[in-house]
Amino acid sequence: MGTVENAQCMKKGGTPGAKAERFEWHRDLGLVPVSPDGERFSFKTSFPAPMRMTARSLLFAGLSVLVILAGCRTYGGRGTEAQTYEEMGAAVEELEADLGPAQSDLQQLRAAVEQDSSLAPLAERYNDLVQLHESMISAQRQRVDTLSAEVSYRTLHRSYGAMITDQKLLRTQYTRTVRRVYAAVRDTTAPGPEVRSTSTYTITPVDYPDPRKGAEVTMSEALAPVTGTPGLQPPEE
C-alpha cells in the first residue's frame, strides 16, 4: 500500500499554499484519503452505523434464503427414504390388484358387443386401456426393483410422484370410458353421473358419510340395459 501526496494541483481551483492531501492506495477501494493526523480510511468510521446494519442484514437474509433453498432440494433422512420406497412398492401392488377387475369389466363389455355392435369401438378402447395397465405394472415394478431405500430422497420422491400420476391418469381413462358406455347404452348424450374428484383440502369428520360413495358408475351398471340386472329379469314363459 503506497502513499501519495497531492498538492493543490489535484484540487481544481485550489489556492496557493493549500495544505497537501495524502492518499493511500487500497487494494479493494483504490485511492482513499488519509486524514491530516494520519488516520487511515476505515469502513467502520467512514460509513454510518445504520448503513452498516442494513448491509449486514441483507447479507444474513441472502444466506438464509440459500440455506432454505438448499434444504428444500436435499430434504430427507430420518427414514423418509425407506418410507417413500415402501410406498412405491405398495402403489405397484395396488395397481396389480386393479388389473383383475379391469379385465373382468372388459369381458363384460365384449359380451355386450354381441348384443349391441355399436359398443365395439368402446370395447376396443377399453382393451387398449387394459393393455396399457399391464405394461404400466411391468414398467413400475421394474422401476421399484431398480431403486432402493439407499437412493437419495429426491430421486425416490420424483419417481414415486411420476408413478402416482400415471396411475391416476389410467384410472381417469377407465372412468371416462365406463361413462361413455353408460351413455351409449342409453342412447343419450349425457355422460352419466359425474364423479367428483377428491379435493386435497377436503376435511371429512370421522364416521361421516362420504357423499362421493356410490357416485361412480360400474361397468355392470353401465351395461344393465343390455345385459339385464340380476334379479330383475322378467320370468321366462
Neighbour count for residue 2 (Cβ, 10 Å): 7
pLDDT tens digits in sequence order for the chain, 237 residues long: 555 555 444 444 555 554 555 666 666 556 666 666 655 555 455 545 555 556 566 666 666 666 555 554 445 556 799 999 999 999 999 999 999 999 999 999 999 999 999 999 999 999 999 999 999 999 999 999 999 999 999 999 999 999 999 999 999 999 999 999 999 999 886 555 555 555 555 666 655 555 555 568 899 999 999 987 553 444 444
Q: Is 211 exposed, middle or buried (0-12, 13-18, 19+ CB in 10 A)?
A: exposed
- The pLDDT value given to residue 11: 47
Does the predicted model carry a pTM greater than 0.85? Answer: no
**Residue 234 contacts residue 193 (beta carbons within 8 Å):** no
* Residue in the structure block whose three cell numbers are 430434504: 75
Position 218: which residue type? Answer: T
- The pLDDT value given to residue 236: 45
Picking from 88, 84, 69, the residue whose alpha carbon sits closest to that of residue 153 is 84
**Measured at the alpha carbon of residue 141, what is the angle toward residues 136 and 144, in degrees to the nearest 5?**
130
Q: Dihedral sign for Cα 108, 115, 221, 165, please.
A: positive
pLDDT digits over 77-120, tens only? 567 999 999 999 999 999 999 999 999 999 999 999 999 999 99
* Partners of 192 in the β-ladder: none
- The pLDDT value given to residue 225: 92
* CA pair distance 65, 222, nearest whole angstrom: 55
Helices (H), the chain: 43-46, 49-73, 80-113, 120-146, 153-185, 219-222, 224-227
Domain boundaries, the chain: 1-46, 47-76, 80-195
- The pLDDT value given to residue 72: 46
